[in-house]
Amino acid sequence: MTEVTVTDLVPATAAPDLPDILPPARPRRGIARFVQRHPAIATGLGLLAVMAALASLAPYLGTVDPTALAPAKRLKPPSAEYWFGTDAYGRDIYSRVIFGARVSLLVGFSVAFLASLAGLLIGLVSGYIRGLDGLIMRVMDGMMSIPPILLAIALMALTRASVENVIMAIALAEVPRVARLVRGVVLTIRGQPYVEAARASGCTAVRIIFRHILPNTLAPLTVQATYICGSAIIVESILSFIGAGTPPIIPSWGNIMADGRTLWQIKPYIIFFPAVFLSITVLAVNLLGDGLRDALDPRLAKRL
Amino acid sequence: MIGFVIRRILTTIPVMAFVALFVFSLLYIAPGDPAAVIAGDQASAEDIERIRHGLGLDRPFLVRFAEWTWQILRGDLGTSMFTGLPVTELIKQRIEPTLSLMLVTLAFAITVAVPIGVLAAWKAGGWLDRLFMAFAVLGFSVPVFVAGYLLAYVFALQLDWLPAQGYTPLSQGVWPWFENLILPAIALGFVYIALIARTTRAAMLEVLSQDYVRTARAKGVSEGGILFLHALKNAAVPIVTVIGIGVALLIGGAVVTESVFAIPGLGRLTIDAIVRRDYPLIQGLVLMFSMMYVLVNLAIDLLYTLVDPRIRY
């Protein structure tokens, strides 16, 4: 019996030479490659880096004391001396806007971190320990049935105005959404054969949760945390704008706009500059979130 | 099906119970002693104690919660500390502008967002799709009061097409009422449109890839017919769901929008209540808004089972 091998049957010329058809690939390296592959992440990160630089270098950017009152110089329109003009108390709006970036970024990142951490723990417990699931999720449903801004407003009404309390109030309102997300992931992962194998080989529940289940939640959690950061920055400005947020003495974008509220028809620039900074910052965070979502979850990227 | 309807209605009970408990705790742990406030500055410690006992404030938490719940169930939301008027009375006075604003925004957002989402899905990947989705990211990023001031500045102050501020009751004519609501509704609608348009696009993409759409195309149904009759109908469930969830955005946004456009509604009432620390009023408003939200979503869930024959529990 003669042996017939596959190579005998397939002509050697069957496969065209790919390099002739495809244009020569010139792999880009470093930052240029990253920007090309993830334009949304790069734009978002770039804008955020600028904002973070403005916030941390605020005292060295030609600013004056953002709380200094100067009654003689009130309501000056933007000029070479006062780039963004002055408000009803003669405070320099440019300095207030630059220093205001500190509050917004601090609140955004702290809320994203705290809400994700709390939501992650609650979601892991709720998804893994079935006995507690019903109770925990009913409480989360209850919290979610109060519109988030309203919940934050109600919590702020209980405490005195401070940046810490604003962070806690907004974070608390965001926890149930994170918990639901994490729980959903845990429920799909816990039935996987490899989790069963881990359990059969004697892993403790804690080890299964942290070594085998937790890593699967990190990608969606990161995306969610980014969106929470964006919405927290908006909610902080809204709370401050309606007088239930950051104490009026601290310059924050919402506070500056609240100060300009009664004068906006004659002095619109008071509101204009913080509004632009606020919108650009939130846009940067949301772009980052969209980019991360597309990069981390290709399945979802096609659908949204 | 009746069984599902009953079960779905029953699930709202623990949710509402939690909301009620939260709202009650708000007053319970609120700083300041109501008895001391009522007694006045000259009152002795015994006077305050007597008033506290008279008001029943010295009884245990659960007893007071049960009594408060019973009071709510009979339709009594308590008395505003600042105005001395019943909370239900204050809400009744201010509810028309807020409901008007929310309904106009809802109608406007749905008419704009659904076609945008459908067209974006139809031309997925094309320039129209990219443009619409860029608009959606912008819609999520521009806070409602920024959008409000921008619109008011351009269309009221500069162009003078529409009134910048205020509200006219519906009883004084439909146009004056509507005219005042156009700018606030557009401002409030931005986020909502972004949310609905994105969800519509995603749901449509899913449906458009299915076999029966290809069949419809093969038998010569027009593109418009495929998109808006065949596909949209089947993509409706997630769209309607997100419209219901988005009502939370409308409620939160209304508080701010009313402040920007000087509309005397529940939003202004909420802000006044917070500035004055009028806890019974804050309680009543949070409870009412949450109930509104829960009931809208309950109604939507029940609607599916009636409208969509695929959903059977």
Tens of pLDDT, residues A73-111: 776 777 767 677 777 776 777 888 888 888 999 999 999
CA dist list (Å): A292 to A21, A42, A296, B52, B78: 33, 10, 6, 56, 48
Residue of A242, A271, A273, A276 to mutate, interface with B, max B Cβ within 10 Å:
A242
The confidence band for A19, taking pLDDT boundaries of 50, 70 and 90, is low
Cα separation, B2 vs B41, in Å, equals 59
Q: Check whether A11 has a pLDDT greater than 60.
A: no
Please list every residue in chain A whose beta carbon sits closer than 8 Å to the beta carbon of residue B140.
230, 282, 286
DSSP 8-state class, residue A86 = B
Shortest alpha-carbon distance between residue B261 and chain A (Å): 10
For residue A219, CA distances in Å to A207, A210, A215, B69 come to 20, 15, 8, 43
Backbone angles phi, psi at A86, to 5 degrees: -125, 160
| Chain A contact for B143 (CB, 8 A cutoff) | yes
Q: Are A142 and B282 inside 8 Å of each other by CB?
A: no
What is the model's pLDDT at position A2? 52
The tokens for B106 are 């809802």
Of how many residues is chain B composed?
A: 313
CA angle A297, A301, A304 (to 5 degrees): 135
Distance of CA B257 to the CA centre of its chain: 12
- pLDDT band for position A59 (cuts 50, 70, 90): confident
Chain mean position to CA A69:
34
Q: Are B252 and A147 in contact (CB under 8 A)?
A: yes
Q: What is the pLDDT of residues A232-282, one digit of tens each?
A: 999 999 999 888 888 888 888 888 888 878 777 777 888 888 889 999 999
**Which residues in B lie closer than 8 A to residue A265 (C-beta atoms)?**
157, 164
**Cβ contact A238–B143 (<8 Å):** yes
Which residues have C-beta within 8 Å of that of residue A149, sequence separation ≥ 6?
A173, A235, A238, A239, B251, B252, B253, B255
Whether A212 and A197 have beta carbons less than 8 Å apart is answered as no
In which element (H, E) is residue B141 found? helix B127-141
Name residue A278's amino acid: L
Q: B48: helix, coil or strand?
A: helix
> What is the chain B residue with the closest CA to A242?
B271
Chain B residue with the nearest C-alpha to that of A156: B274
Q: How far is B15 from chain A (nearest CA, A)?
A: 4
- pLDDT given for residue A116 in this prediction: 95
Sign of CA dihedral A68, A72, A76, A80: negative
A287 touches chain B (CB under 8 A): yes
Closest CA to A140 of A189, A168, A182: A182
Contacts for A44 with CB less than 8 Å, ≥ 6 apart: A284, A285, A286, A287, A288, A289, A291
Identify which of B292, B140, B129, B310 has the alpha carbon closest to the alpha carbon of residue B236.
Answer: B310
Instruction: For residue A29, count CB atoms less than 10 angstroms from its CB and return exposed for 0-12, middle for 13-18, buried for 19 or more.
Output: exposed
What is the overall mean pLDDT for chain A? Answer: 82
Listed residue (A154, A173, A257, A230) closest to B259, CA to CA: A257
User: How many Cβ atoms from other residues are within 10 Å of residue B308's Cβ?
Assistant: 14
Cα-Cα-Cα-Cα dihedral of B129, B135, B139, B141, to 10°?
110
DSSP B79: B
**CB interface of A with B, residues 249-278, below 8 Å:** 257, 261, 264-265, 268, 271, 275, 278
Residue with tokens 């000087």: B262
A174 pLDDT exceeds 60? yes
Rounded CA-CA distance A289/A295 in Å is 10
Residues of A in contact with B137 (CB under 8 A): 283, 286-287, 290
Spatial CB neighbours of A73, under 8 Å, sequence gap ≥ 6: A82, A86, A90
> Does the distance separating the beta carbons of A141 and B202 come in below 8 Å?
no
Cα gap A243→A237, rounded to integer Å = 10
Exposure string over B77-89, b if 16+ CB within 10 A, otherwise e: bbbbbeeeebbee
User: What does the alpha-carbon distance between residue B93 and residue B85 come to, in Å, rounded to a whole number?
Assistant: 11
Is the CB of residue B150 less than 8 Å away from at least one CB of chain A? yes
Tell me which chain B residues have a C-beta less than 8 angstroms from the C-beta of A285: 141
Residue B248 is nearest to which of A147, A257, A268, comparing CB atoms?
A: A147
Can you give the pLDDT at residue A17?
A: 56
Quote the tokens at residue A21. 């058809």
- The backbone torsions φ and ψ at residue A98, rounded to the nearest 5 degrees and listed phi first, read -65, -45
**Which residue, among B15, B160, B245, would best test binding to A if mutated, counting the most A CBs under 10 Å from its CB?**
B15
Interface test with B, best of A43, A156, A234 (most B CBs within 10 A): A234
Of A9-13, A58-62, A85-89, B84-88, highest mean pLDDT: B84-88
Q: What is the length of chain A?
A: 304
Question: Which pLDDT score is estimated for A301?
Answer: 47
pLDDT at A78: 75
Residue numbers of chain B with a pLDDT score lower than 50? none
pLDDT score recorded for residue A84 = 73
Tell me, what's the pLDDT at A27? 63
Residue A82: Cβ within 10 Å count:
19
Q: Are B255 and A243 an interchain contact pair (Cβ–Cβ within 8 Å)?
A: no
Collapsed DSSP state (helix, strand, coil) of residue B298: helix
Tell me the nearest-neighbour CA distance from B155 into chain A, angstroms.
12
Contacts of A303 in chain B (CB under 8 A): 202, 205-206
* CA of B131 vs chain A CAs: smallest distance (Å): 14
Q: How far is CA B265 from the centre of its chain?
A: 13
Asked if this assembly's ipTM is beyond 0.90, the reply is no
The DSSP code sequence of B202-227 is HHHHHHHTSHHHHHHHHTT--HHHII
Question: Which of residues 136 through 155 in chain A touch B, CB cutoff 8 A?
Answer: 138-139, 141-143, 145-151, 153-154
Residue at B5: amino acid letter: V
